[in-house]
Amino acid sequence: MKPFEYLRAADRGTARRDAAMPAAAYIAGGTNLLDLMKLEVMQPERLVDINRLDMKSVETTGEGGLRIGALVTNSDLAAHETVIADYPLLSRALLAGASGQLRNKATTGGNLLQRTRCYYFYDTAMACNKRDPGSGCAAIGGATRLHAILGASAQCIATHPSDMAVAMLALDAEVEIEEESGETRRIPLREFHTLPGDTPHIETVLPQGALITAVHLPAPAGGTQIYRKVRDRASYAFALVSIAARVTLEDGKIAQVALAFGGVAHKPWRDPEVEKALIGKAPSRALFDTAADILLADARGQGDNDFKIPLVRRTLRAVLTEATGGAG
Amino acid sequence: MAQTINTEVTRVDARRKVTGTASYAADSIPAGMLHGALACTAVAMGRIAGIDTARAEAEPGVVAVFTHETLPDYKTVKGFYAGGPGSASFWPMEGTEIRYAGQPFAYVVAETAAAARRGADLIAVRYEEDAAQIHMDPGESFIIGAGEDSEGMTLTKGDIEAGLGAAAQTVEATYRTPFQHHNPMEMFAATAEWRGEQLTVWMPSQSVRTLRGGIAKAYGLPETSVRVLSPFVGGAFGSKAGVTPYAMLTIAAARAVGAPVRLIVTRPQMYTVATFRPETEQKFRLGADADGKLTAFEHVEIAQTSRFDDVVNPGTHMTRSMYACPNIHTEQRLARSDTNSGGFMRAPNEMQTFFGLESAMDELAWKLGMDPVELRRVNDTNRHPVKDVPFSSRSLMESYDAVSRSFGWADRGREVGSMTDGDWLVGYGCATATYPTNMSPSSARVRMQGSGHAYVELAAHDVGTGSYTIFAQIAAAQLGLPVEAVDVVMGEADLPLAPIAGGSTTAASSGSAVHIACTNIARGVAEKVAAQKDGPLAGLDPAQITLENGVLKGPGGESQSLAEALASTPMGEIEAEGQYRHPALTDKALRMTYHGGYGVAGPVTPEMAMFAFGAQMAEVHVHRYTHEIRVPRLHGAFAAGTWLNRKTAHSQLMGGMVWGLGSALHEITEVDTPRARFLNANIAEYLIPVNADVRELRVEMLEERDDYVNPLGVKGIGELGIVGTAAAVGNAVYHATGKRLTAIPMRISDIVSA
């Protein structure tokens, strides 16, 4: 581990100022960052500890939604009464992630910034454009069972590991940030994470030094909510594929639908065309397969992960069948 | 006599372990200790072209940086598969040569562990890289032991082609098993302290005598100058048996810097600096007549090995011991690739081979239209299929019958895909478990005080299995004492000879030595009081005198306290040694054990075949849409002679079944083929079962008496529970889905692609 300077921020202004210095990083739960520092995958010279900042509350907003402080732990958020009642897929996604001990430490803001679990990113003996821009991607042509089938580039085929972010994407969440200047603004989660392109080391649109202060959920949209995580081990494993679904039926037809996908891309994936194809239609296996065709039109396997393409199709069929009461 | 054997006894060290007062090897911190760290190669094959240690040496806290050019007095030993105590024949840092990825090329000593680690990361190294191949090519395999008689690796009995020709049904199938790593919770560690020519090494070990012997020989020291201490071991599974480069580098570094040095190997480095389970291919050709009786049995095992060792763990020895068949052909083959040498990992000969054999038997049962349990019954035998000697005991079908009852085997749907539970396809599968009973020589020393307290001492090991407890139980039973009155001292090479904690030998072999030592003590005390000039027991037949709760009693109710009986002995105590040697143990095997090797009698002696048996049944659910594979029920029934401690034995068997489940569904060391490198080198990405994967797991322990194996009638059980689990799961997957998965782990991707 590279030696680093540790600063404990007493207020948000100090935190932003300290984090604006070169090679600085915020630390909250540290469940991912500390591992990466020990392996020298990440080598911040300065850690700004934000755990004492007042960002630990969950509040109802004037719009009838929820404002989740960036330091609310995954455990607390999963157990929050309003979340369980009005956003059940978020609670389920959180509980599907990591282990009890990790969820007690991991925070809402930190979870959005989790790094990929790509083996090649973790092994500093391997070329990785995400860890070391310009060094290449050893994963391509290597062991790719866990890698992306959508939106990958010739520079990076990694996936985003978060369950929480997939659920929040299906819930139309917004990320509240404070810029270095102190200005506050909200970024829709669907615009927050980026595709790898030629800059896989850049994973979000978060400006340097900016602080995630909260996540906003809009007023509850109701519907049947499902979070389905598919993995080889029954617990404490990252998703091969996951789907967050919110479906409302009216008169036997799909009136509203939101579908977000995990384990398939560099970011939590949502495709408006898929949802458009479902709205106003009566659920059927053929309809679900049409939705899958649209979703997977540009899907491309790397060899080991080819199975993810049929797996997404099959999981979507399972989720939509369950959400619509057995039409599949 | 107190009933302490075949009861449930809580581990005597349980409280110490859960309260953190059990001191593991790396917990010992000699005064002035420095910290070591390894730097390991990024490439798998080639040469070190240059190393620049300047930045590492300039790092605050770094004391020394050693490379192949600068580490003085670094000694190596012969590899295990070349007849030595080493984990491999090729030793890193003897020169510039690189033979595997993650090979140590520098050793940093620093004032703190963090500075040592940082120093290792700051070393700049240049490579001349050559192409490397990490997977074996089965087409390039070579045979081991060809042309030898039936003692050898490769064996032919009868005419396999004729047997296949006469068969009503045949199965020809190939099964594959992956690279696996042991991943004990306790990291590899070594602490070395030199005082002149006296060396002390603290190191978690499955064989303190192997370690001491190897180190002493390498340094030309008498064994009395080398102390090796391994009081507790936090899991080993075969990974802590040999003399490893990380240990010898630490010993050399400590000598070079003139201070004690402790190295704790990092988790990723644990994947390359020691051994692993090699990948294998298991090729079977089976033939059976219409009644299911085997007419042909062919098994060819191809296992991966390094370029510098023939890592041969003969699994065909086990499979050909299983079922009656007139025509048998087995071959043991190896195929080389560019890795460090593999070795033994829990059930090293059995896990892979029984995944293959028991899957093939299931395929045969389906072809014959037979109940797979009945197929095993038809081919059960009370004589060894090759050596034609009787089994000393064999409760295979008793195990099947017991597990069939507890599992409800008769209730299964007879057709593939005939059972469902909501969106889950349901299948049942069964498989045989077996493990050889290998008997090592062992000694033990026991000292009993007049106060009724006993001390048992031997150079055996508790690798987390409960050895401390069962030796206390054995002594307590023989000395008429409560278990709490016995202290067991182990894990030190200076103590009386005990074998490697491997091959499930410790309980049976060293337990026999403890039993004999305690028998000698009990007899010694009885003879002593009988020989008294006067006293309540004087003149009685010593054989009629019993010892119970510190009191010696004669047949007529005469009694004398132990304290009185021992009052006149020096220190008021009596001491005896027990030496155990199975009658069939050869002198050569005995000598091998003296030198820290693995010398055993069995499993097949000139008179008898000694194996433990069991049967496993799995209920598997495969999701109709997602193909997730879950195992809601796993039942096993086992018979292994005397159960010494029903609680720890149950844990061993249950732990074995969980381990087997991991092999079935999760465990694989992922490989980067282009760079010949192991990838998922941490326990977040190297999956093993978690609680959610282990649902109803039932272990039934059958009674079995075996007077041949050893005085206590004990068979080893540390590995038995693993064997067959993967096949039982795979057979149930077939029953549920009609898909025959021929490689482990069996994962979602395999069903999607099948």
Output the domain CATH number for residue B469. 3.30.365.10
Min Cα separation B736/chain A (Å): 17
| B contact set with A (CB within 8 A) | 41-43, 101, 114, 117-118, 121, 268, 423, 623-630, 665-666, 670-675, 677, 679-682, 684-685, 687, 689-693, 745, 747-749, 752-753
Choose from A2, A102, A232, A235 for mutation: most chain B CBs within 10 A. Answer: A232
**Across the interface, which of B671, B674, B747 has its CB nearest the CB of A141?**
B674
Query: Are residues B745 and A122, on separate chains, in Cβ contact within 8 Å?
Result: no
B247 and B157 co-located in one domain: no
Q: Which among B61, B66, B189, B59 is positioned nearest to B113, based on CA atoms? A: B61
Secondary structure string (H, E, C) spanning B253-276:
HHHHHCCCEEEECCHHHHCCCCCC
Give the domain-ending residue among B559, B594, B629: B594
Q: Which of B43, B628, B746 to mutate to test the interface with A (most CBs of A within 10 A)?
A: B628
Verify that B173 and B219 share a domain, yes or no: no
Please return the burial class of B291, using the count of CB atoms within 10 Å of its CB with bins 0-12, 13-18 and 19+: exposed
Domain check: are B640 and B550 in the same one?
no
> Do B562 and B550 touch, CB atoms closer than 8 A?
yes
Q: Over the stretch B431-475, which tens digit does the pLDDT of each residue have?
A: 999 999 999 999 999 999 999 999 999 999 999 999 999 999 999
Residues of chain A found within 8 Å of residue B747, distances taken between Cβ atoms: 232
State the pLDDT at residue A328: 57
Per-residue pLDDT, averaged over A232-251, amounts to: 97
pLDDT cut 90: percent of chain B above it: 94
- The DSSP string of B346-395 is SSTTTHHHHHHHHHHHHHHHHHHT--HHHHHHHT--SB-TTT--BBS---
Are B505 and B573 members of one domain?
yes
Tell me the mean pLDDT in the region B507-516: 97
Q: What is the pLDDT of residue B568?
A: 84
Give the confidence band of B147 by pLDDT, cuts at 50, 70, 90. low
Q: How confident is the model at residue A146 (pLDDT cuts 50, 70, 90)?
A: very high
Residue A41: the pLDDT is 96
Same domain? For B557 and B570 the reply is yes
**Predicted confidence (pLDDT) per residue in B193-213, tens digit:** 999 999 999 999 999 999 999
Nearest chain B residue to A142 by CA: give it: B672
B113 & B217 share domain = yes
B443 and B495 fall within a common domain: yes
Q: What's the token pair of residue B271?
A: 């994947």
Averaged pLDDT, B68-88: 95
Which residue range is the domain that position B714 belongs to? Answer: 394-437+611-754
- Whether the upstream peptide bond of residue A133 has omega within 30° of 0, thus cis, is no
Tens of pLDDT, residues B263-308: 999 999 999 999 999 999 999 999 999 999 999 999 999 999 999 9
Q: Is the pLDDT of residue B149 over 90?
A: no
The tally of CA atoms less than 13 A away on the side-chain side of residue B558 is 17
- The answer to the question of residue B387 being in a domain is no
User: DSSP assignment, residue B722?
Assistant: G
Exposed, middle or buried, A168 (CB in 10 Å: 0-12/13-18/19+)? buried
Report pLDDT for A39: 93
Q: Is the pLDDT of residue B150 over 60?
A: no
Rounded Cα gap, residues A181 and A185, in angstroms = 11
Q: Which residue of A has its CA nearest to B42?
A: A125
β-pairing verdict for B551-553 and B546-548: antiparallel
| Confidence band for A327, pLDDT divided at 50, 70 and 90 | low
Mean pLDDT of A58-76: 97
Instruction: Measure the CA angle with vertex B525, ends B454 and B13; round to 5°.
Output: 15
Domain count along chain B: 4
Would B19 be classed as within a structural domain? Answer: no
Eight-class DSSP state of B279: P
Tell me if B385 is assigned to some domain.
Answer: no
Q: How far is B101 from chain A (nearest CA, A)?
A: 10
Domain boundary among the residues B594, B628, B645 is at B594
Q: What is the pLDDT of residue A195?
A: 98
Please check whether residues B462 and B541 belong to one and the same domain.
Answer: yes
Cβ <8 Å between A231 and B268? no
Partner-chain contact B673 A310, CB within 8 Å: no
Q: What is the mean pLDDT of residues A203-214?
A: 95
Active site residue B484: no
What whole-number distance in Å separates Cα of residue B198 and Cα of residue B227? 8
Asked if the Cβ–Cβ distance from A232 to B687 is below 8 Å, we say yes
pLDDT higher than threshold 50 for residue B119: yes
Q: Do B195 and B73 share a domain, yes or no? A: yes
Same domain for B505 and B479: yes
pLDDT in the model for residue A168: 98
Interchain pair A233, B118: CB under 8 A: no
Catalytic, out of B331, B363, B619, B719: B719
Picking from A1, A231, A240, the nearest residue to B118 by CB comes out as A1
pLDDT at B634: 98
- Among the partner residues B684, B745, B752, nearest to A311 by beta-carbon distance: B752
Give dist(CA B166, CA B578) in Å, integer. Answer: 54
| Whether A68 contacts A61, CB under 8 Å | no
Share of chain A above pLDDT 90, in %: 95
Mean pLDDT (chain B, rounded): 96
Peptide bond into B603 cis (omega under 30): yes
Q: Examine the pLDDT at B549 and tell me if it is beyond 60.
A: yes
Query: Are B687 and A233 a contacting pair at CB < 8 A?
Result: yes
CB contact under 8 A, A123 and B677: yes
**B430 plus B573 within the same structural domain:** no
Residue B11, domain member (yes or no) = no
Inside any domain, residue B529: yes
The per-residue b/e assignment along A137-156, b for 16 or more CB within 10 angstroms, e otherwise, is bbbbebbbbbbbbbbbbebb
- CB-hemisphere CA count at 13 Å for B613? 29
Q: What does the pLDDT look like over A261-290, one tens digit per residue?
A: 999 999 999 999 999 999 999 999 999 999
A vs B: CB pairs below 8 A = 108
Q: Report the amino acid identity of residue B71.
A: L
Residue B516 lies in a domain: yes
| pLDDT value of residue B287 | 98
- Beta-carbon separation of B118 and A2 below 8 A: yes
Residues 6+ apart with CB under 8 A from B518: B446, B454, B474, B475, B477, B478, B479, B576, B578
Q: Calculate the average pLDDT of chain A.
A: 97
Angle, helices B351-368/B646-665, rounded to nearest 10 degrees: 70
When comparing pLDDT for B535 and A84, which is higher? A84
**Contact B121/A123, CB-based, under 8 Å?**
no
Of B625, B674, B689, the CB nearest to A314: B625
Min distance A139 CA to chain B CA atoms (Å): 8
| Interface contact flag, B745 A232, Cβ < 8 Å | yes
Question: B157 and B293: one domain?
Answer: yes
Q: What is the mean pLDDT of residues B81-100?
A: 96
Q: What is the pLDDT of residue B151?
A: 56
**Rounded mean pLDDT, A235-252:** 97
Task: Give the span between the Cα atoms of A90 and A76, in whole angstroms.
Answer: 12
Whole-angstrom Cα distance, residue B253 to residue B111? 13
Query: Token pair 């993967």 is at which residue?
Result: B726
Q: Tell me the pTM.
A: 0.97
Task: Give pLDDT, residue A190.
Answer: 98
> Of B256, B271, B286, which residue is a domain's last?
B271
Question: Taking the CA of residue B496 as centre, how many other CA atoms within 13 Å lie in the half-sphere pointing to its CB?
Answer: 22
User: Which of A143, A236, A306 comes nearest B679 by C-beta?
Assistant: A143
A66's tokens: 């929820």
Q: For residue B362, is it within any domain?
A: yes
Whether B16 maps to a domain, the answer reads no
Q: Closest partner residue to A1 among B114, B670, B690, by Cβ? A: B114
